[in-house]
Chains A and B, each alone.
Chain A
């Protein structure tokens, strides 16, 4: 059977168009499937993020509970023992007509130790922390540390912080950890805390004059990981800057006026 040229052209055109349409259909399917995959991927990411948040939250709650328990133990057990010891020294001091200087000094030192222990116990107690705001707690902590003369802390702050009490506790723990780092690892003499409120965000700049460290070379320890976790829990960011082994600057930025876990 002879097929005319027109028929061949018609067949070729129809065949070509069909194949191009088939290719377009396949491409559309790929696009739709990929879009579904994107949605699924996004849902998985949100679920993972929520799970992380919950995990961190429960870790912190456990930590707070432990600290609170430790605070009670310090106050009720060790504090009572020290108080009894102080009482006995006082009784001994009064029974002697000329008590030796060493006994007087020991009594005074013990008094200071009890005072320190009370402050420390307070700073660990969650219930106590939730009653006060971040600024008050921080000032109490600064005064406790400044009186020990291991480190001198300077604070620049606003009147109040736009954070909920539970968020203020988390932030307080971050600052405590950084201060401890400055004392333990950096052997710093001065520590500066500057808190600035900006529209939509809160910025904390914490710097010391200690030995500093190389952020790339130093392996991330438990303390730094905790700080990162806590900042992440507040929805913020934290950056360490330490160049030339001359002091450390930590920059924390937290979003405010929005829901934070």
Chain B
């Protein structure tokens, strides 16, 4: 039986979001509802997996919500540094086109890994651009107290770390089907811990900044 450790990280992050982003009316507040949605999807996905059912259809529903949310967050966090829409629009268009193509081809019952990979590439490019412009900026920012930095760092680690799994998706799915070795599951559990750990920390940074400026 696979332990849902990734789900634990998501629940902890959701609790952090509700505790430290309480009262946030702007895009920071939307993290709470995204985390609730993520936890619900992951729970259903885990239950389906335990029942021996295929949960790809569920994750295909989750994928566009996840990508649109992450691109929206990147837009809000990066727009003061560079023209992020130059990257967001083409990658989102490509993502949607591929998602529809894959969905129609596979009848939405096989995970849309190609559209996920394209969207991940877009996120990685935006993250690297952010780091470049962040360092290029004249003013000094303390990264240990800067919430946006940790949101973007988390995305960078998650999607760079997940590249190999996306590239070898078919092989790994085959290995799991035949030999029951959950390589992808294990890697993504570790990456989930990194992603949601950094996000939780960024929520704390955001909270500290809010109380210190009020």
In angstroms, Cα B171 to Cα A16, docked, is: 15
B140 interface residue per 8 A CB criterion: yes
Is the C-beta of B143 less than 8 angstroms from some C-beta in chain A?
Answer: yes
Interface window among B38-46, B55-63, B96-104, B161-169:
B161-169
CB of B8 closer than 8 Å to a CB of A:
no
Nearest A residue (CB) for B188: A16
Q: Do residues B156 and A12 form an inter-chain contact, with CB atoms below 8 A?
A: no
Interface residues on chain A, number (Cβ under 8 Å) = 23
B157 and A13 contacting across the interface, CB-CB below 8 Å: no
Whether A9 contacts B157 by the Cβ 8 Å rule is no
By beta carbon, the residue of chain A nearest B142 is A38
Which residues of chain A are within 8 angstroms of B139 by Cβ–Cβ distance?
41
Q: Is A217 an interface residue (CB 8 A)?
A: no
Inter-chain CA distance A23–B163, complex, in Å, is 12
User: Interface readout for B69-96 with A: 1 if CB under 8 Å, 0 if not?
Assistant: 0000000000000000000000000000
Interface bin, chain B? 20 to 34
Give the contacting residue for A16; candidates B131, B135, B178, B187; CB below 8 A: B187
Q: Which residues of chain A from 1 to 53 have any CB-CB distance to chain B below 8 Å in the complex?
A: 3, 5, 8-9, 11-13, 15-16, 19-20, 22-24, 26-27, 30-31, 33-34, 37-38, 41
Chain A nearest Cβ from B51, distance in angstroms: 25
Contacts of A24 in B (CB 8 A): 157
Query: How far apart are the CA atoms of A23 and B171 in the complex, in Å?
Result: 25
- Which residue of A11, A27, A31, A34 contacts B168 across the interface (Cβ within 8 Å)? A11
Q: Mark B118-135, 1 if CB is under 8 A from A, else 0.
A: 000000000010010011
B141 at the interface (CB under 8 A from A): yes
> Which residues does chain A contribute within 8 Å of B167, judged by CB atoms?
15
Chain A nearest Cβ from B172, distance in angstroms:
7
Closest to B183 in A: A9
Bound together, the chains give a CA A28 to CA B196 distance in angstroms of: 20
Q: With contacts A12-B183, A31-B143 known, is A23 near B164, CB below 8 A?
A: no
User: Within 8 Å CB of B174, what residues of A?
Assistant: 5
Please report the C-alpha to C-alpha distance between residue A8 and residue B167 in the assembled complex, in whole angstroms: 11
Q: How far is the CA of A41 from the CA of B178 in the complex (A)?
A: 58
Kindly list chain A residues whose C-beta atoms are within 8 Å of the C-beta of B134.
30
| Interface contact A12-B161, CB-CB below 8 Å | no
B148-195: which have CB < 8 Å to A? 153, 156-157, 160-165, 167-168, 171-172, 174-175, 178-179, 181, 183, 187
Please, how many angstroms separate the alpha-carbon atoms of A27 and B131 in the complex? 9
Nearest-neighbour CB distance to chain B for A12, whole angstroms, equals 5
**Identity of the chain B residue whose Cβ is nearest the Cβ of A8 in the assembled complex:** B171
Instruction: Report Cα–Cα, A26/B152, bound state, in Å.
Output: 13
Q: Which residues in B have their C-beta under 8 angstroms from that of A8?
A: 168, 171-172, 175
Is the pair B160, A13 in contact by a Cβ cutoff of 8 Å?
no
Contact A30 B183 (CB under 8 A): no
Which of B128, B153, B171, B181 has most chain A Cβ within 10 Å? B171
In the complex where A16-B187, A19-B163 touch, is A30 in contact with B140 (Cβ < 8 A)? no
What distance in Å separates the Cβ of A223 from its nearest Cβ neighbour in chain B?
33
Q: Is the CB–CB distance between A34 and B164 below 8 Å?
A: no
Q: Is the Cβ of A12 less than 8 Å from the Cβ of B172?
A: yes
The answer to whether B183 and A34 touch across the interface, beta carbons within 8 angstroms, is: no
Cα distance A46–B185 when bound, in Å?
Answer: 52
A210 to B91, CA, bound (A): 68
In the bound complex, residues from chain A placing their C-beta under 8 Å from that of B142 are: 38
Q: List 24 A-B contacts (CB under 8 A).
A: A3-B171, A5-B174, A5-B178, A5-B181, A12-B164, A12-B165, A12-B187, A15-B163, A16-B163, A16-B165, A16-B187, A19-B161, A19-B163, A23-B156, A23-B161, A30-B135, A30-B143, A31-B143, A33-B135, A34-B135, A34-B141, A38-B142, A41-B139, A41-B140
| 5 residue pairs, one from A and one from B, having the closest CB atoms | A15-B164, A41-B140, A16-B164, A5-B175, A19-B160
Residues of B within 8 A of A (CB): 128, 131, 134-135, 139-143, 153, 156-157, 160-165, 167-168, 171-172, 174-175, 178-179, 181, 183, 187
Q: Which residues of A contact B (CB under 8 A)?
A: 3, 5, 8-9, 11-13, 15-16, 19-20, 22-24, 26-27, 30-31, 33-34, 37-38, 41
Given A16-B165, A38-B142, 13 new contacts (CB under 8 A): A5-B179, A9-B175, A12-B168, A12-B171, A16-B162, A16-B164, A19-B161, A23-B156, A24-B157, A26-B128, A30-B135, A30-B143, A38-B140
